[in-house]
């Protein structure tokens, strides 16, 4: 996670902006939030794995099991939704763990 990402709140807008920048840099063209990255030929299955690693590292989330489906990576909007879901679930789990430790 970069210092900029650590300071910026995790919102749909910040995630979407960061993903659009990341993709534009990697595929050398601009994309729209609702553009199908696979049908447009911009993203291959190999690059999709790089997206998984990027999202996990950038947002301190784990993308495993049922979340590793193509539809979660088809568009920037879908990836944004995935990050928000997993980030919120992670935050909830951390809060529950803190509560459990406090109860001991």
**What pLDDT sits at residue 4?**
47
**What pLDDT sits at residue 98?**
54
**What pLDDT sits at residue 35?**
98
| 3-state SS, one letter per residue, for 5-21 | HHHCCCCHHHHHHHHHH
CATH superfamily, domain at 8-91: ACP-like (1.10.1200.10)
Asked if 36 and 74 count as a contact pair (C-beta separation under 8 A), the reply is yes
**pTM score:** 0.81
Residue range 12-29, pLDDT digits in tens: 999 999 999 999 999 999
| Other C-beta atoms lying within 10 Å of the C-beta of residue 95 | 10
Q: Return the exposure string of 7-39: e unless at least 16 CB atoms fall within 10 Å of the residue's CB, then b.
A: eeebeeeebbebbbebbeeeeeeebeeebebbe
The pLDDT confidence band at residue 45, using thresholds 50, 70 and 90, is confident
**What pLDDT sits at residue 5?**
45
């Amino acid at each position: 996670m970069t210092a900029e990402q650590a300071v910026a709140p995790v919102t749909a807008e910040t995630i979407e902006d960061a993903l659009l920048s990341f993709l534009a840099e990697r595929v050398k063209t601009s994309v729209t939030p609702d553009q199908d990255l696979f049908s447009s030929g911009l993203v291959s299955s190999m690059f999709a794995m790089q997206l998984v690693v990027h999202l996990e590292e950038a947002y301190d989330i784990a993308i495993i099991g049922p979340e590793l489906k193509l539809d979660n990576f088809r568009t920037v909007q879908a990836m944004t939704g995935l990050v928000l879901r997993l980030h919120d679930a992670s935050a909830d789990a951390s809060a529950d763990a803190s509560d459990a430790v406090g109860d001991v």
